Each structure stands twice: as C-alpha cells, then as structure tokens.
Amino acid sequence: MATISENLQQLHQRLTSACKAANRPVQSVTLLAVSKTFAAAAVREAHAAGERRFGENYVQEGLDKIEQLADLRSQLEWHLIGPLQSNKTRAVAEAFDWVHSVDRLKIAQRLAEQRPAWLPPLQVCLQVNISGESSKSGCSVAELPALARAVAALPRLKLRGLMAIPEPAADFEAQRQPHRALARLMAELNSTQDLALDTLSMGMSADLEAAIAEGATLVRVGTAIFGGR
C-alpha cells in the first residue's frame, strides 16, 4: 500500500497536470487534505510531507484531532467542511479557521457572535445546493444572493466564497457542469453585490480535474491522500 507521502506526491502531480490543462498557475489551486475518519497520526504524516490545511466533516472528531495536534496548531489551518448544527457553533467558532458549510443565516449569526475577539475573523464559504437535490445540505441558488449579502455584513466573519458537493457524474463533461454553475454564481455575486469573493471550494478525489477546469481555487481531497474510508 502506498504511504501518505507517496499519495501526496502523486496527487500534486495530478494537480499540476490539471492546472496545466486548464492554463492556470499551480499556485492558483490550494489543496485541502480531508482527514475525516483518519487518526491524528495520519494528519501528522501529511504535515511532515508538507501539507498545512486539513478538512474535517464531523465537529467532534475535528475538535478531538485539533486538540491531539495542539503542538502543531500554529502551523495548521483547520477547515470544517461538514454539516453544522446550531448547538455546535460555539466550539467551531473557537477552534476552526474556516467553515465551508454555512448554508443559513442563523448559523452565520451564531458564528459571528461566538468567534472570540482574540482570533482573526473566521473564514467562511456558503455551501450551495448546486445539483438542486432536496436531501442535500446547502442553500438554494435562489436563496444565495440574500444570504451572501447578510453574511458579508456580519462582524468577526470573512465571507470568502462558495462551496458545493455536486452529484457524482460519469464523465468529465458532465462533471464540469455543476462546477461551472458554481463559478458563475460567484462571478455574479462579485459583480452585482460588490463582494470580493476569491474562493471556489469544489472538486474532490473523483472530479478535481473538472473542478480545476472550471476555476476551483480550493480542492478538498480525502481518499486520494489517506486511502478509502
């Protein structure tokens, strides 16, 4: 079995090729290593191999890992990418650097109230239900403009961009469509609302090439680094 460091080497080659194919500089795409379900030791290994940004889906699991890796805290950036309930916002506001899964105003308001004054603003992306499935989390495309306006006005938060988890699609062209739609939404918000959103959080192990082709600035990759879950 390949080691985490070998997987990372391969993945960085994949990212380089995808950027080349899209005519984009490699530095324009940030890698978020999704460590959910893997132990703190795996994060330590990825950190030793040069990674600095880690994504967690489950709040409690993320908090535990952040604590277990307290010695590396100043070198790491922790991103919450999974669903966030209102009874967990305080712990998240105190421990994480980013939240990608804000999909309603109430959650954003609580994060803004609870983000400690001694920490930098919490970096926030709005999760959009781009495939339009009722079962999935994320705000609807129709709700997005008002939500973005309201969240951008909150203190202690910095609205950075949009995040989506599109439905799996079979081929490259089909994979590109939802990513293109998310990129358009961000461009629209920037032009109509005078926002300066700079983060398109999209693309995972199976579709990162399509996401990069459509302008992803941050890809969230788990399986290709840490193995199957």
Ligand X SMILES: *Cc1c(COP(=O)(O)O)cnc(C)c1O
Which DSSP string do the residues of the chain spell out, in sequence order? ---HHHHHHHHHHHHHHHHHHTT--GGGSEEEEE-TTS-HHHHHHHHHTT--EEEESSHHHHHHHHHHTGGGGGG-EEEE-S---GGGHHHHHHH-SEEEEE-SHHHHHHHHHHS-TTSPPEEEEEEB-TT--TTS-SB-TTTHHHHHHHHHTSTTEEEEEEE--PPP-SSHHHHHHHHHHHHHHHHHHHHHH-----EEE---TTTHHHHHHTT-SEEEESHHHH---
84, 204, 211, 216: which one binds ligand X (CB under 6 A): 204
- Nearest CB to ligand X, comparing residues 84 and 112: 84
Size of the site for ligand X (CB under 6 A): 14
- Give least dist CB 32 to ligand X, A: 8
Question: Is residue 165 near ligand X by the rule CB under 6 A?
Answer: yes
Considering the complex, state which of residue 70 and residue 170 has its C-beta at the smaller distance from ligand X.
170
Residue from 57, 68, 109, 177 that binds ligand X (CB under 6 A)? Answer: 57
Instruction: Name the residue number minimizing CB distance to ligand X.
Output: 222
Measured from the Cβ of residue 12, the count of other Cβ atoms closer than 10 Å reads 15
Question: Least distance in Å: CB of 55 to ligand X?
Answer: 7
Stretch of 60-68, 117-125, 133-141, 200-208 lying at the interface with ligand X (CB under 6 A): 200-208
The residue within the footprint of ligand X, chosen from 17, 140, 223, 227 (CB under 6 A), is: 223
Nearest CB to ligand X, comparing residues 34 and 162? 34
Select the residue interacting with ligand X from 138, 161, 166, 222 (CB under 6 A).
222
Could you tell me the smallest distance in angstroms from the CB atom of residue 206 to ligand X?
6
Residue at token pair 């918000």 = 189
Interface contacts to ligand X, rule CB under 6 A? 34, 36, 57, 81-82, 165, 204-206, 220-224
